[in-house]
Structure 1
């Protein structure tokens, strides 16, 4: 009888322990450390792109959107300054532990069709020093979703970077003096990403070069065609980076996997040419793949 009673007590204790543990996990909290980064913009006459963040929302496991009440704002960031792995921290936020299926950013930007907005929170600064407002499509008050998943550990921190791809996000319409912002964002969990870095040799001094990364076998020749309307060249590129004057480059915040790289040149008159394609480059989490490219 004593052994039977002891076994019964052990079963009850175990059930209570696991129930409490489950409750602690479901009701626990963790931290989201959120940063932003960028890929270069195509427009050569733009030297800065300022974006003002006014709020943040998150979606827990595909459920309803909730507001990050501990967001401190507004925060204005020169997104164009955040290239080649450089980031800007938007803040550390307390969230319930668990899986998340997206973030949504609120921006201070005038809607398309607004006449002569004063002191817009989102604007571009041209090489001439002139400031041009960034208009957003009408009906965008709900914010802009960054696609991607992440998990918040109980009593821990997940570091996440939102890639604010300005090359795809900004288009110029009309006579060339109206700038439209339609943000293209994706989420990268920092410790699940890697990078590709190296030197491109034999560059022509009178050309500019950009390196685009694609998921393996996703690139087609039509990607380099002249875009129409508010579209961009190389629309399905995962990321891109400019080659600097020494030939050095870095493609940062790439999810682990296999990539094809497309090296593109541009002349002073704006002529675009695909110079080389390098296939099957493997990226591993928390590692840098070294790759030198010779033209």
Structure 2
């Protein structure tokens, strides 16, 4: 599992293989594969993050071959990714598909993406190349098989993907404040381990990082606790994690400041969700 920063060309998505379903029908679709594309989110410190998704394509040939793209059956729509956190996901595509290998998936974004900040103001979300060449996500060893369902879960990290321009000031045009530089991760769907828990007080609204050491270096997945203090990280490989909590809220006057907290030795087992209980941040 790797994280990728992108500017037009992105890397990542959450991949998975679900159970096989057989049919005795003579319909050709009985031997087709089933392809699902879903969107989930590791949230950031915004009220809304809305993506204007116009088209979804997959690439069936080697990288650089312009003839390998195939458009999926998809209804253009705007999606507030912050609606899909803590295990929720939006179903974007559910279609029969010819068995074979997939190399990439590409999202074509329209001009109407935006964020609503914690100040309640709406800001345009500029995508440097997403509206034209699309946001491309490389896929590793994705093979669709007859009578099986393959799910691509696009795990969108808002905190890393929405970037404020360094020279922006409150007096500048609101449309120029934020850029979209998608950070999306890829992990096999049959990895069903996870972490969940709550923080106290909920008003601390911490960013939560789960860090696992691996042979290729630290592997980090992040999310934010929601307004109730709950958080959940899914599709984690088994292993031992360090979980870090970075408060983004400010304690009321007269109350103890919210603290940065680290929990070590957290074990994740495949096919199980580890419950961390409540983590105090003051």
Query: How well do the aligned residues superpose, as a CA RMSD in angstroms?
Result: 3.0
1:96 aligns with 2:98: yes
SS in 2 for 1:266: coil
Residue 260 of structure 1 is matched in structure 2 by 242
92 and 262 in structure 1: CA distance in 2 versus 1, 3 angstrom threshold: same
SS in 1 for 2:206: strand
Q: Deviations over 1:110-148 (max 9, x none)?
A: xxxxxxxxxxx2111345654321111258622112344
1:194, 1:288 within 8 Å by CA — same for their partners in 2?
yes
Residue 54 of structure 2 is matched in structure 1 by 54
Q: Which one has more relative contact order, counting CA pairs under 8 Å at least 6 apart?
A: 2
Bigger helix fraction: 1
Q: Deviations over 1:166-215 (max 9, x none)?
A: 11110112115411111112234433332212344xx3576332321122
2:237, 2:268 within 8 Å by CA — same for their partners in 1?
no
The runs of 5 or more residues in structure 2 that have no matched partner are: 1-30, 252-256
SS in 2 for 1:168: helix
Residue 36 of structure 2 is matched in structure 1 by 33
205 and 181 in structure 1: CA distance in 2 versus 1, 3 angstrom threshold: closer
The runs of 5 or more residues in structure 1 that have no matched partner are: 1-27, 110-120, 220-235
State which of 159, 162, 168 in structure 2 corresponds to 1:167: 159
State which of 204, 209, 214 in structure 2 corresponds to 1:212: 209
TM-score where L is the length of structure 2: 0.70
Q: Which protein has the larger Cα radius of gyration, Structure 1 or Structure 2?
A: 1
1:290 aligns with 2:275: yes
- Aligned mates of 1:190, 1:144 — CA distance in 2: 22
SS in 1 for 2:190: helix
Residue 194 of structure 1 is matched in structure 2 by 193
